């Protein structure tokens, strides 16, 4: 019988490389797009709240600038709601597919 020997100084296995498949890349781009859309809507809401606070404190000189900031926040929120609705509709359509 041959004795079993261990190689102590063997090289480690290489780490798995990140997936460069187009589907994986599209998934990461899609998640970045969603995150940036949410960040933009949040930023618009914060600017709207700041404009309202300035109006309440008397710092805002023009009412139309406050109204524009509020409308931008409203449109951003409506866009996110419609985006969510379309995503849910697409999910429902996929779930209804027959395999």
Cβ neighbours for 48, distance < 8 A, ≥ 6 positions apart: 69, 70, 72, 73
Whether this prediction's pTM lies above 0.75 is answered by: no
Q: Would you say residue 1 has pLDDT above 60?
A: no
Distance between CA atoms of 58 and 54, rounded to whole angstroms?
Answer: 6
In the chain, domain spans: 27-96
More confident residue, 31 or 78: 78
Distance between CA atoms of 42 and 13, rounded to whole angstroms?
Answer: 44
**pLDDT at site 31:** 84
- Identify the band that residue 14 occupies on the pLDDT scale cut at 50, 70 and 90: low
Positive or negative, the Cα torsion across 42, 35, 82, 84?
negative
**pLDDT at site 66:** 93
Distance between CA atoms of 50 and 42, rounded to whole angstroms?
Answer: 12
**pLDDT at site 47:** 95
What radius of gyration do the chain's Cα atoms show? 26
- CA distances for 58 relative to 52, 55, 63, 80, angstroms: 10, 5, 11, 32
Reported as a single tens digit per residue, the pLDDT across 15-71 is 666 666 666 666 678 888 889 989 999 999 999 999 999 999 999 888 999 999 999
């Amino acid at each position: 019988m041959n004795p079993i020997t261990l190689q102590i100084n063997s090289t480690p296995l290489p780490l798995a490389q990140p997936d460069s498949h187009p589907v994986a890349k599209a998934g990461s781009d899609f998640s970045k797009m969603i995150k940036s859309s949410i960040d933009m809507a949040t930023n618009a809401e914060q600017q709207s709240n700041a404009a309202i606070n300035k109006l309440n404190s008397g710092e805002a000189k023009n009412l139309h600038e406050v109204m524009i900031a509020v409308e931008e926040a409203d449109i951003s929120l409506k866009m996110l709601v419609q985006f969510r609705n379309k995503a849910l509709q697409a999910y429902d359509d996929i779930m209804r597919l027959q395999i």
